[in-house]
Amino acid sequence: MDSYSRAYPEFSLCGLNCGLCVRYHTDGPSRCPGCGGNRFSELHPSCPIITCSKKHEHIEYCHECASYPCDRYRDEAEYDSFITYASRLADQTKAKSFGIEAYQHILNQKIELLRHLIEHYDDGRHKGFCCLAVNLFELPVLQQIVEKMKTVELASVKERAAYMAELMNKEAENHHLLLRLRRK
């Protein structure tokens, strides 16, 4: 695949929130720069969605395509990879209905909350959990959870991580969300 770049790699062409992926928040050579970010083509040499975009007037997001939703989007993905696919269709719908700038603003706020969670509540075992939770919760719910977490002072990162996971799991139950990647 030729070099592929985009102005906003944090939200992918296919609707994944790259800015909320564990690989986006990883240091080192395995770090993914997001869809069309620096070194993207080197790390992801072939992407059928990008190939499809090139055939459809080089659209920036699949929801902009005249053929959307095509067969690729008719059904929700059953399984996840590094990042959840569970919200991909809903996020494409939000980006289309709110407008891409408004959606990017929401996503940027979620990315900042995720950075805060990773910095203060990841004990080395909860980064993926944080990424998934931030991806699946609506922004106002997530903001309430984080504000509640800030009111409790816990000395160790292990205690903070356990408290964070407990709050997130309780809230996920209330919203009928599963805070686990769906594996085959």
Give per-residue pLDDT as tens, 8-36.
999 999 999 999 999 999 998 889 999 99
Query: pLDDT category, 74, cuts 50, 70, 90?
Result: confident
Contact 136, 87 (CB under 8 A): yes
pLDDT exceeds 70 at position 64: yes
What does the pLDDT read at residue 2?
Answer: 66
Question: What percent of the chain has a predicted confidence (pLDDT) above 90?
Answer: 70
Q: Nearest 5°: CA angle at 6, between 4 and 9?
A: 110
Q: Name the nearest CA neighbour of 110 among 86, 84, 138.
A: 138
Q: What is the rounded distance in angstroms from the CA atom of residue 78 to the CA atom of residue 111?
A: 25
pLDDT exceeds 60 at position 1: no
pTM over 0.85: yes
pLDDT, one tens digit per residue, over 93-115 is 999 999 999 999 999 999 999 99
SS3 4: coil
Structure-model confidence comparison of residues 159 and 184, the more confident one: 159
What does the pLDDT read at residue 72?
Answer: 85
What does the pLDDT read at residue 80?
Answer: 87
pLDDT exceeds 80 at position 171: yes
What does the pLDDT read at residue 41?
Answer: 84
CB neighbours of residue 67 within 10 Å:
13
| Average pLDDT, integer, range 48-58 | 88
